[in-house]
Chain A
Amino acid sequence: MARDMIVSSRVELQAVLSTARITSGVLARLVAGEPVEIAPADNAVLMVTFEVGGRRLAQANVRNEGGKLIATITKILSDRNEWKLDEWRLVSSDLA
Protein backbone atom coordinates (compact mmCIF):
# COMPACT_ATOMS: atom_id res chain seq x y z
CA MET A 1 0.00 0.00 0.00
CA ALA A 2 2.72 2.45 1.03
CA ARG A 3 4.77 1.49 -2.01
CA ASP A 4 1.81 2.20 -4.29
CA MET A 5 1.44 5.60 -2.73
CA ILE A 6 5.10 6.37 -3.24
CA VAL A 7 5.35 5.33 -6.87
CA SER A 8 2.18 7.21 -7.73
CA SER A 9 3.49 10.43 -6.21
CA ARG A 10 4.67 13.07 -8.61
CA VAL A 11 8.05 14.73 -8.96
CA GLU A 12 9.20 17.63 -11.08
CA LEU A 13 11.28 16.41 -14.01
CA GLN A 14 13.40 19.16 -15.52
CA ALA A 15 14.87 19.15 -19.00
CA VAL A 16 18.19 20.94 -18.61
CA LEU A 17 19.53 22.05 -21.94
CA SER A 18 22.96 23.17 -20.87
CA THR A 19 25.17 23.59 -17.83
CA ALA A 20 28.35 25.62 -17.76
CA ARG A 21 30.89 26.86 -15.26
CA ILE A 22 30.95 30.64 -15.53
CA THR A 23 31.94 33.53 -13.33
CA SER A 24 29.47 35.53 -11.31
CA GLY A 25 30.35 38.52 -13.49
CA VAL A 26 29.26 36.73 -16.66
CA LEU A 27 26.11 35.55 -14.93
CA ALA A 28 25.33 39.13 -13.94
CA ARG A 29 25.69 40.19 -17.57
CA LEU A 30 23.29 37.46 -18.64
CA VAL A 31 20.76 38.58 -16.09
CA ALA A 32 21.24 42.14 -17.32
CA GLY A 33 20.15 40.99 -20.77
CA GLU A 34 23.25 40.09 -22.75
CA PRO A 35 22.59 37.08 -24.98
CA VAL A 36 24.80 34.03 -24.76
CA GLU A 37 25.71 31.43 -27.34
CA ILE A 38 26.00 27.88 -26.12
CA ALA A 39 28.31 25.39 -27.75
CA PRO A 40 28.10 21.73 -26.78
CA ALA A 41 31.07 20.32 -24.91
CA ASP A 42 33.72 18.85 -27.23
CA ASN A 43 31.59 19.97 -30.20
CA ALA A 44 29.27 17.08 -29.58
CA VAL A 45 25.64 17.13 -30.60
CA LEU A 46 23.25 19.20 -28.60
CA MET A 47 22.05 17.27 -25.58
CA VAL A 48 19.65 17.62 -22.74
CA THR A 49 19.67 16.05 -19.30
CA PHE A 50 16.61 15.07 -17.35
CA GLU A 51 16.99 15.96 -13.73
CA VAL A 52 14.92 15.55 -10.58
CA GLY A 53 15.83 17.64 -7.59
CA GLY A 54 19.19 18.52 -9.13
CA ARG A 55 20.10 14.86 -9.70
CA ARG A 56 20.85 13.90 -13.27
CA LEU A 57 18.90 10.83 -14.34
CA ALA A 58 19.19 10.57 -18.09
CA GLN A 59 20.95 12.10 -21.05
CA ALA A 60 19.39 12.61 -24.45
CA ASN A 61 20.35 13.90 -27.88
CA VAL A 62 18.24 16.73 -29.24
CA ARG A 63 17.12 17.20 -32.84
CA ASN A 64 14.91 19.78 -34.45
CA GLU A 65 12.07 18.30 -36.51
CA GLY A 66 9.89 20.88 -38.15
CA GLY A 67 10.21 23.26 -35.26
CA LYS A 68 9.68 20.53 -32.68
CA LEU A 69 12.51 19.63 -30.35
CA ILE A 70 12.77 15.88 -29.96
CA ALA A 71 14.95 14.34 -27.24
CA THR A 72 16.11 10.75 -27.64
CA ILE A 73 17.42 9.21 -24.44
CA THR A 74 20.91 7.84 -24.99
CA LYS A 75 22.10 7.07 -21.51
CA ILE A 76 20.74 6.47 -18.02
CA LEU A 77 23.12 8.27 -15.69
CA SER A 78 24.50 7.03 -12.42
CA ASP A 79 25.78 9.21 -9.61
CA ARG A 80 29.32 8.52 -10.66
CA ASN A 81 28.77 9.68 -14.18
CA GLU A 82 30.97 12.64 -15.03
CA TRP A 83 29.21 15.30 -17.00
CA LYS A 84 31.09 17.50 -19.46
CA LEU A 85 30.17 21.14 -19.18
CA ASP A 86 29.19 23.17 -22.20
CA GLU A 87 30.85 26.38 -23.30
CA TRP A 88 28.97 29.62 -22.97
CA ARG A 89 30.13 32.71 -24.77
CA LEU A 90 28.65 36.14 -24.49
CA VAL A 91 27.48 37.19 -27.93
CA SER A 92 28.57 40.79 -27.31
CA SER A 93 32.08 39.55 -26.57
CA ASP A 94 32.18 37.68 -29.85
CA LEU A 95 31.21 40.80 -31.72
CA ALA A 96 33.77 42.98 -29.97
Chain B
Amino acid sequence: METERTKSSALSKDPLPARDPKQRRPRGRRLLQPSPVDITPGESSSDAGRRTQQGSQLLLPAISQERREKILELHHRVAVAISQAMPEYLREGDRVVFEGLNFLSFREVSAGSEAGSLSAILHLENPDVAGLAIANAELNTYFAKTVIGTEKRSGSADTQLPLSRLEMAIAGRAMRALIERFGAFYREAGVGILRCETVGEPIASSAHFEADECLLVLRLRFGSDEPVKRLTIATGVGLLSAFRTERVTTASGSELPLPARAADVPMTASIVLGSWNIRLTDLTELRVGDEIVLPEGDDAWLLGSGVRLQRVRLGFTHDRVRASRTEARHHGS
Protein backbone atom coordinates (compact mmCIF):
# COMPACT_ATOMS: atom_id res chain seq x y z
CA MET B 1 0.00 0.00 0.00
CA GLU B 2 1.21 3.43 -0.85
CA THR B 3 2.35 5.28 2.22
CA GLU B 4 3.39 8.72 3.13
CA ARG B 5 5.18 9.93 6.19
CA THR B 6 3.60 12.60 8.27
CA LYS B 7 3.01 13.61 11.82
CA SER B 8 0.50 11.58 13.69
CA SER B 9 -2.20 13.35 15.63
CA ALA B 10 -0.91 11.85 18.81
CA LEU B 11 -3.21 12.12 21.79
CA SER B 12 -1.18 10.03 24.18
CA LYS B 13 1.05 11.69 26.75
CA ASP B 14 3.60 8.99 26.09
CA PRO B 15 5.55 9.97 22.97
CA LEU B 16 6.38 7.20 20.59
CA PRO B 17 9.92 6.60 19.46
CA ALA B 18 10.39 7.03 15.72
CA ARG B 19 10.57 3.72 13.85
CA ASP B 20 13.76 4.70 12.18
CA PRO B 21 15.99 7.59 13.24
CA LYS B 22 16.55 8.40 9.56
CA GLN B 23 12.85 9.06 9.21
CA ARG B 24 12.80 11.67 11.95
CA ARG B 25 11.62 15.01 10.63
CA PRO B 26 13.56 18.10 11.70
CA ARG B 27 11.65 19.89 14.42
CA GLY B 28 9.66 22.86 13.18
CA ARG B 29 9.70 21.79 9.53
CA ARG B 30 6.32 22.28 7.95
CA LEU B 31 4.47 19.46 6.33
CA LEU B 32 3.82 20.66 2.80
CA GLN B 33 1.78 17.73 1.61
CA PRO B 34 -1.79 17.88 2.90
CA SER B 35 -2.59 15.14 5.33
CA PRO B 36 -5.23 12.64 4.22
CA VAL B 37 -6.37 12.27 7.80
CA ASP B 38 -9.85 13.44 8.59
CA ILE B 39 -9.40 14.89 12.03
CA THR B 40 -12.52 15.54 13.97
CA PRO B 41 -13.19 19.14 15.00
CA GLY B 42 -12.28 18.43 18.59
CA GLU B 43 -9.01 16.88 17.59
CA SER B 44 -8.11 19.46 15.00
CA SER B 45 -8.61 22.20 17.52
CA SER B 46 -6.55 20.40 20.11
CA ASP B 47 -3.13 21.64 21.06
CA ALA B 48 -1.14 21.47 17.86
CA GLY B 49 1.99 22.49 19.70
CA ARG B 50 1.73 19.51 21.94
CA ARG B 51 1.54 17.27 18.94
CA THR B 52 4.62 18.88 17.49
CA GLN B 53 6.49 18.52 20.72
CA GLN B 54 5.63 14.91 20.94
CA GLY B 55 7.07 14.42 17.50
CA SER B 56 5.86 10.87 17.14
CA GLN B 57 5.79 9.61 13.60
CA LEU B 58 3.85 6.94 11.86
CA LEU B 59 3.82 5.69 8.32
CA LEU B 60 0.31 6.70 7.42
CA PRO B 61 -1.54 5.30 4.43
CA ALA B 62 -2.59 7.71 1.73
CA ILE B 63 -6.32 7.56 1.01
CA SER B 64 -7.81 8.71 -2.25
CA GLN B 65 -10.56 11.29 -1.88
CA GLU B 66 -13.10 8.90 -3.36
CA ARG B 67 -12.25 6.11 -0.95
CA ARG B 68 -12.14 8.48 1.99
CA GLU B 69 -15.59 9.80 1.18
CA LYS B 70 -16.89 6.27 0.84
CA ILE B 71 -15.58 5.32 4.27
CA LEU B 72 -17.00 8.47 5.86
CA GLU B 73 -20.35 8.07 4.15
CA LEU B 74 -20.72 4.43 5.21
CA HIS B 75 -19.94 5.17 8.85
CA HIS B 76 -22.29 8.13 8.92
CA ARG B 77 -24.98 5.70 7.82
CA VAL B 78 -23.90 3.22 10.52
CA ALA B 79 -24.33 5.97 13.12
CA VAL B 80 -27.78 6.84 11.84
CA ALA B 81 -28.79 3.17 11.82
CA ILE B 82 -27.62 2.70 15.41
CA SER B 83 -29.57 5.79 16.45
CA GLN B 84 -32.72 4.37 14.93
CA ALA B 85 -32.40 0.64 15.51
CA MET B 86 -31.04 0.40 19.06
CA PRO B 87 -33.47 2.41 21.18
CA GLU B 88 -33.04 0.04 24.12
CA TYR B 89 -29.50 1.35 24.62
CA LEU B 90 -30.16 5.04 23.95
CA ARG B 91 -31.82 7.65 26.11
CA GLU B 92 -34.83 9.22 24.49
CA GLY B 93 -33.74 12.02 22.17
CA ASP B 94 -30.12 10.94 22.07
CA ARG B 95 -28.52 9.99 18.82
CA VAL B 96 -25.22 8.58 17.66
CA VAL B 97 -22.82 10.72 15.66
CA PHE B 98 -19.87 9.51 13.61
CA GLU B 99 -16.95 11.75 14.55
CA GLY B 100 -14.61 10.88 11.71
CA LEU B 101 -11.57 8.77 11.03
CA ASN B 102 -8.02 9.15 12.20
CA PHE B 103 -4.77 7.23 12.47
CA LEU B 104 -3.14 6.40 15.77
CA SER B 105 -0.60 3.88 16.96
CA PHE B 106 -1.79 0.88 18.90
CA ARG B 107 -0.02 2.32 21.93
CA GLU B 108 -2.07 5.51 21.65
CA VAL B 109 -5.28 3.60 21.20
CA SER B 110 -4.65 1.35 24.19
CA ALA B 111 -3.73 4.39 26.30
CA GLY B 112 -7.35 5.47 25.94
CA SER B 113 -8.51 2.23 27.47
CA GLU B 114 -8.89 3.54 31.00
CA ALA B 115 -10.48 1.87 33.99
CA GLY B 116 -14.11 1.07 33.40
CA SER B 117 -13.76 0.83 29.65
CA LEU B 118 -14.71 -2.31 27.79
CA SER B 119 -12.89 -3.68 24.80
CA ALA B 120 -13.56 -6.29 22.17
CA ILE B 121 -11.32 -8.06 19.70
CA LEU B 122 -12.61 -7.87 16.13
CA HIS B 123 -11.74 -9.79 13.04
CA LEU B 124 -12.63 -8.89 9.48
CA GLU B 125 -12.58 -11.75 7.01
CA ASN B 126 -11.77 -11.33 3.36
CA PRO B 127 -9.54 -9.41 3.67
CA ASP B 128 -8.17 -10.56 7.02
CA VAL B 129 -7.86 -7.53 9.26
CA ALA B 130 -7.69 -7.50 13.04
CA GLY B 131 -9.33 -4.78 15.07
CA LEU B 132 -10.47 -3.51 18.41
CA ALA B 133 -13.59 -1.90 19.76
CA ILE B 134 -13.37 0.16 22.92
CA ALA B 135 -16.34 1.59 24.79
CA ASN B 136 -15.13 4.18 27.28
CA ALA B 137 -16.26 4.08 30.90
CA GLU B 138 -18.84 6.80 30.37
CA LEU B 139 -20.45 4.86 27.53
CA ASN B 140 -20.66 1.66 29.60
CA THR B 141 -22.25 3.57 32.46
CA TYR B 142 -24.63 5.17 29.96
CA PHE B 143 -25.69 1.76 28.66
CA ALA B 144 -26.21 0.49 32.20
CA LYS B 145 -28.23 3.55 33.20
CA THR B 146 -30.36 3.36 30.09
CA VAL B 147 -31.16 -0.33 30.43
CA ILE B 148 -31.45 -0.66 34.22
CA GLY B 149 -32.75 2.79 35.00
CA THR B 150 -31.25 6.11 36.02
CA GLU B 151 -32.26 5.93 39.68
CA LYS B 152 -30.05 2.91 40.25
CA ARG B 153 -26.95 4.86 39.29
CA SER B 154 -27.70 8.44 40.20
CA GLY B 155 -25.13 10.87 41.47
CA SER B 156 -22.55 13.12 39.91
CA ALA B 157 -19.71 10.71 40.45
CA ASP B 158 -21.51 7.68 39.15
CA THR B 159 -19.05 7.08 36.36
CA GLN B 160 -16.34 6.60 38.96
CA LEU B 161 -18.23 3.75 40.56
CA PRO B 162 -17.15 0.39 39.26
CA LEU B 163 -19.80 -1.36 37.26
CA SER B 164 -21.40 -4.42 38.75
CA ARG B 165 -21.18 -7.72 36.93
CA LEU B 166 -24.73 -7.28 35.69
CA GLU B 167 -23.93 -3.83 34.36
CA MET B 168 -20.78 -5.06 32.65
CA ALA B 169 -22.83 -7.82 31.09
CA ILE B 170 -25.25 -5.21 29.75
CA ALA B 171 -22.36 -3.18 28.37
CA GLY B 172 -20.93 -6.30 26.78
CA ARG B 173 -24.24 -7.13 25.17
CA ALA B 174 -24.49 -3.59 23.84
CA MET B 175 -20.96 -3.91 22.45
CA ARG B 176 -21.84 -7.07 20.57
CA ALA B 177 -25.00 -5.47 19.22
CA LEU B 178 -23.02 -2.48 17.98
CA ILE B 179 -20.46 -4.70 16.26
CA GLU B 180 -23.28 -6.62 14.64
CA ARG B 181 -24.61 -3.35 13.26
CA PHE B 182 -21.21 -2.47 11.84
CA GLY B 183 -20.94 -5.97 10.40
CA ALA B 184 -24.28 -5.70 8.63
CA PHE B 185 -23.20 -2.52 6.86
CA TYR B 186 -19.79 -3.89 6.00
CA ARG B 187 -21.34 -7.02 4.54
CA GLU B 188 -23.86 -5.04 2.51
CA ALA B 189 -21.17 -2.72 1.17
CA GLY B 190 -18.95 -5.67 0.21
CA VAL B 191 -16.26 -4.65 2.69
CA GLY B 192 -16.02 -8.08 4.31
CA ILE B 193 -17.35 -10.20 7.16
CA LEU B 194 -16.83 -8.53 10.54
CA ARG B 195 -16.87 -10.73 13.62
CA CYS B 196 -16.57 -10.02 17.33
CA GLU B 197 -14.17 -12.63 18.71
CA THR B 198 -14.03 -11.75 22.40
CA VAL B 199 -15.39 -9.07 24.70
CA GLY B 200 -13.77 -7.98 27.91
CA GLU B 201 -10.13 -8.94 27.40
CA PRO B 202 -7.58 -6.25 28.26
CA ILE B 203 -6.34 -4.91 24.94
CA ALA B 204 -2.89 -4.06 26.29
CA SER B 205 -2.13 -7.76 26.16
CA SER B 206 -3.37 -8.11 22.60
CA ALA B 207 -1.02 -10.10 20.44
CA HIS B 208 -2.59 -8.71 17.27
CA PHE B 209 -0.67 -5.45 17.09
CA GLU B 210 2.76 -4.03 17.78
CA ALA B 211 2.98 -1.00 20.03
CA ASP B 212 3.71 1.50 17.26
CA GLU B 213 1.63 -0.14 14.56
CA CYS B 214 -0.56 2.36 12.76
CA LEU B 215 -4.28 1.74 13.17
CA LEU B 216 -7.29 3.20 11.41
CA VAL B 217 -9.45 4.73 14.14
CA LEU B 218 -13.17 5.40 13.78
CA ARG B 219 -15.19 7.00 16.55
CA LEU B 220 -18.84 7.22 17.40
CA ARG B 221 -20.20 9.56 20.02
CA PHE B 222 -23.39 8.72 21.90
CA GLY B 223 -25.50 11.71 22.90
CA SER B 224 -24.22 15.27 22.96
CA ASP B 225 -23.81 16.01 26.66
CA GLU B 226 -20.70 15.72 28.81
CA PRO B 227 -18.86 13.60 29.68
CA VAL B 228 -18.24 12.23 26.22
CA LYS B 229 -19.57 8.73 25.69
CA ARG B 230 -17.55 7.20 22.90
CA LEU B 231 -17.10 3.97 21.02
CA THR B 232 -13.74 3.65 19.28
CA ILE B 233 -13.15 1.16 16.50
CA ALA B 234 -9.49 0.64 15.65
CA THR B 235 -8.38 -1.74 12.93
CA GLY B 236 -5.36 -2.51 10.86
CA VAL B 237 -4.99 -0.22 7.88
CA GLY B 238 -5.81 -3.19 5.66
CA LEU B 239 -9.41 -2.20 6.19
CA LEU B 240 -8.84 0.72 3.83
CA SER B 241 -8.24 -1.55 0.86
CA ALA B 242 -11.46 -3.38 1.68
CA PHE B 243 -13.35 -0.23 0.71
CA ARG B 244 -12.99 -0.75 -3.01
CA THR B 245 -14.18 2.29 -4.88
CA GLU B 246 -14.47 0.60 -8.25
CA ARG B 247 -16.97 -2.01 -7.14
CA VAL B 248 -20.59 -1.71 -8.17
CA THR B 249 -22.94 -4.04 -6.36
CA THR B 250 -26.55 -4.92 -6.78
CA ALA B 251 -29.00 -5.28 -3.93
CA SER B 252 -28.23 -8.99 -3.84
CA GLY B 253 -24.54 -8.28 -3.38
CA SER B 254 -23.33 -9.60 -6.72
CA GLU B 255 -21.24 -7.36 -8.90
CA LEU B 256 -22.80 -5.87 -11.98
CA PRO B 257 -21.20 -7.13 -15.19
CA LEU B 258 -19.42 -4.56 -17.31
CA PRO B 259 -22.05 -4.52 -20.12
CA ALA B 260 -24.70 -3.54 -17.58
CA ARG B 261 -22.55 -0.64 -16.43
CA ALA B 262 -21.78 0.39 -20.00
CA ALA B 263 -25.51 0.62 -20.67
CA ASP B 264 -25.75 3.37 -18.08
CA VAL B 265 -23.37 5.73 -19.86
CA PRO B 266 -25.19 9.03 -20.45
CA MET B 267 -25.36 10.22 -24.04
CA THR B 268 -26.96 13.04 -25.95
CA ALA B 269 -29.31 11.88 -28.67
CA SER B 270 -31.14 13.97 -31.25
CA ILE B 271 -33.67 13.48 -34.00
CA VAL B 272 -33.00 15.53 -37.07
CA LEU B 273 -35.93 16.26 -39.37
CA GLY B 274 -33.84 17.15 -42.33
CA SER B 275 -31.20 19.51 -43.64
CA TRP B 276 -30.56 22.03 -46.38
CA ASN B 277 -27.50 23.46 -47.98
CA ILE B 278 -28.00 27.19 -47.78
CA ARG B 279 -25.80 30.17 -48.37
CA LEU B 280 -24.41 31.99 -45.36
CA THR B 281 -26.00 35.20 -46.56
CA ASP B 282 -29.42 33.53 -46.50
CA LEU B 283 -28.70 32.22 -43.06
CA THR B 284 -27.91 35.66 -41.70
CA GLU B 285 -31.21 36.94 -42.97
CA LEU B 286 -33.31 34.63 -40.83
CA ARG B 287 -35.48 36.65 -38.43
CA VAL B 288 -37.92 35.96 -35.66
CA GLY B 289 -41.33 35.34 -37.23
CA ASP B 290 -39.97 33.75 -40.40
CA GLU B 291 -41.73 30.55 -41.40
CA ILE B 292 -40.03 27.52 -42.85
CA VAL B 293 -41.72 24.46 -44.29
CA LEU B 294 -40.07 21.47 -42.72
CA PRO B 295 -39.51 18.02 -44.20
CA GLU B 296 -42.40 15.72 -43.39
CA GLY B 297 -40.42 13.38 -41.25
CA ASP B 298 -40.13 10.51 -43.70
CA ASP B 299 -36.41 10.96 -43.93
CA ALA B 300 -35.49 11.95 -40.42
CA TRP B 301 -32.55 10.38 -38.64
CA LEU B 302 -31.24 9.62 -35.21
CA LEU B 303 -28.01 11.15 -33.92
CA GLY B 304 -26.12 9.66 -30.98
CA SER B 305 -23.49 12.01 -29.56
CA GLY B 306 -23.26 13.66 -32.97
CA VAL B 307 -22.97 10.41 -34.92
CA ARG B 308 -25.68 9.67 -37.47
CA LEU B 309 -27.00 6.23 -36.53
CA GLN B 310 -30.10 5.43 -38.57
CA ARG B 311 -33.15 6.76 -40.38
CA VAL B 312 -36.33 7.08 -38.41
CA ARG B 313 -39.95 7.70 -39.39
CA LEU B 314 -41.84 10.28 -37.36
CA GLY B 315 -45.51 10.34 -36.48
CA PHE B 316 -47.03 13.54 -35.11
CA THR B 317 -49.97 13.50 -32.70
CA HIS B 318 -50.85 16.87 -31.16
CA ASP B 319 -47.82 17.91 -29.15
CA ARG B 320 -46.17 14.49 -29.14
CA VAL B 321 -43.92 12.78 -31.64
CA ARG B 322 -43.36 9.09 -32.09
CA ALA B 323 -40.15 7.98 -33.74
CA SER B 324 -39.64 4.48 -35.11
CA ARG B 325 -37.01 2.87 -37.23
CA THR B 326 -37.40 2.63 -40.97
CA GLU B 327 -34.20 0.79 -41.83
CA ALA B 328 -30.82 0.13 -40.30
CA ARG B 329 -28.20 2.51 -41.57
CA HIS B 330 -24.96 2.98 -39.74
CA HIS B 331 -22.52 5.69 -40.57
CA GLY B 332 -19.04 6.16 -39.32
CA SER B 333 -19.49 9.89 -39.01
Which residue numbers of A lie inside 8 Å of B, CB to CB? Answer: 6-25, 27-28, 30-31, 33, 35-40, 43, 45-46, 48, 50, 52, 54, 57-58, 60, 62, 64, 67-76, 88, 91
Contact = CB atoms under 8 A, between A and B. Distances in A.
Nearest to A91: B322
A37 B252 CA distance: 33
A11 B278 contact: yes
A45 B319 contact: yes
B291 A38 contact: no
Given A17-B300, A73-B288, A73-B289, 16 more contacts: A9-B279, A10-B278, A13-B275, A14-B274, A17-B270, A21-B269, A22-B266, A22-B267, A27-B269, A57-B286, A69-B293, A69-B296, A70-B294, A71-B291, A72-B291, A73-B286
Given A11-B277, A38-B320, A91-B322, A24 B309 contact: no
16 contacts: A8-B280, A14-B275, A15-B273, A17-B321, A18-B321, A23-B266, A24-B265, A28-B263, A30-B269, A30-B302, A35-B323, A46-B316, A57-B286, A62-B294, A69-B273, A71-B292
A24 B261 CA distance: 10
| Most A C-beta atoms less than 10 A away, residue of B273, B277, B304 | B273
Contacts, number: 167
Chain A interface, DSSP helix/strand/loop, else mixed: strand
A12 B264 contact: no
A14 to B, nearest CB: 4
Contacts of B321: 17-18, 37-38, 46
Interface residues of B, number: 50
A7 B279 contact: yes
B309 A31 contact: yes
A-B pairs with lowest CB-CB distance, top 4: A25-B263, A35-B324, A69-B294, A7-B281
Nearest to A7: B281
Nearest to A62: B294
